[in-house]
Amino acid sequence: MSVLIFIDQAEGHIKKASLEALTYGADLAANTGTTAEAVILGTVNDDLADLGKYGVKKIHQITGDAFNQFDTQVYTNAIAQVATTTGATVLVFSNNVNGKALAPRLSAKIKAGLVSGAVALPDTSNGFVVKKNVFSGKAFANIAVNTSVKIIALSPNAYKTTATNGIADVVPFQANAATPKVKILSVNKASGEVPLTEAEIVVSAGRGLKGPENWGMVEELAKLLHAATACSRPVADAHWRPHNEHVGQTGIAIAPNLYIAIGISGAIQHLAGVNRSKVIVVINKDPEAPFFKAADFGIVGDAFEVMPKFIEAVKKLKGVA
């Protein structure tokens, strides 16, 4: 059994979720007595050799103009070539936006069993069984994979990243680039200091803020905490905030270490997108708001009274005037 990990990058920088995938893949390799290798596509500005501290021994880098824009077909074909050449029997992806696009396509191409949303290392004591989230994170399922080649897509923030002093051997890989069927004419980037899907802390608000003119305090708290901002669906639908900030079942699913919800009732559709957060803090003036049942900490109070005090407390803690 050998393990190949896909390293996801954007604009030349490694995504946080990839560090989790590297640690996961390296631990899986250690548990099964083999080595962990990785593959990355496109031009990268970060020090790839330094990724060896997460347990990967060798990184296959595929460069060229065809790989500098994410294209599912082009990437799938290239990764399949690396998997075949290295004899990989387990491939690890992050179950983020790019991973969700690549893993199923690669599964069909190389006829590999796929488990998406994994939250723990496989149990190999009797076969190959992977634990994953089901029903929008409300339950777990143990999936047995019987194919010779297996693909695991790891849920972001589900596995702790650990680092050592290792150095990876970075080697070029010459892959035959598939002809892209999609031509990218322009890219509109979402604004914000911290990408929502990569954020450790997310400050989110709903209709309880009454209007877009009151979002200043949300942005101020987010800036103090180096957090990303988010919103509920009604807020995005009302165009108070851009749709790329909408979190929930029909928006972006996130799993930050801390999720602060201000003036959000906590409907089941919203919870489905944020219930994998490590800690949830809810601020709502309605003591019967459903969100309080899912919260680790709750403040019953008007956001317009609570938030200024919250912000001042954070400023005092951080020593900000």
pLDDT digits over 50-74, tens only?
999 999 999 999 999 889 989 999 9
Across 289-304, average pLDDT: 96
Q: At 320, which amino acid appears?
A: V
**Domain 196-318, CATH 3.40.50.1220 — does that match?**
yes
Residue 30's pLDDT band (cuts 50, 70, 90): very high
Instruction: Encode pLDDT of 219-265 as tens digits.
Output: 999 999 999 999 999 999 999 999 999 999 999 999 999 999 999 99
Q: What is the pLDDT of residue 193?
A: 66
CATH pick for 3-172 out of 3.30.1490.190, 3.30.360.10, 3.20.20.410, 3.40.50.620: 3.40.50.620
pTM over 0.85: yes
Domain ranges of the chain: 3-172, 196-318
Q: What is the pLDDT of residues 169-187, one digit of tens each?
A: 999 999 998 888 888 888 7
Q: How far, in Å, are 27, 84, 297 from residue 3 at the CA level?
A: 10, 12, 40
Strands of the 297-300 sheet, one edge to the other: 228-231, 201-205, 258-262, 279-284, 297-300
Token digits of residue 99:
């991973």
pLDDT value for 70: 92
Tell me the CA distances in angstroms from 151 to 119, 208, 317, one per residue in order: 14, 42, 44
CA distances from 108 to 37, 113, 142, 154, 252 (A): 22, 9, 21, 18, 25
What is the sign, positive or negative, of the torsion defined by CA atoms of 23, 5, 87, 61?
negative
* Whether residue 191 has pLDDT greater than 80: no
Whether 3-172 and 196-318 share one fold: the answer is: yes
Residue 252 gets which letter from DSSP? B
Q: How far is CA 178 from the centre of its chain?
A: 27
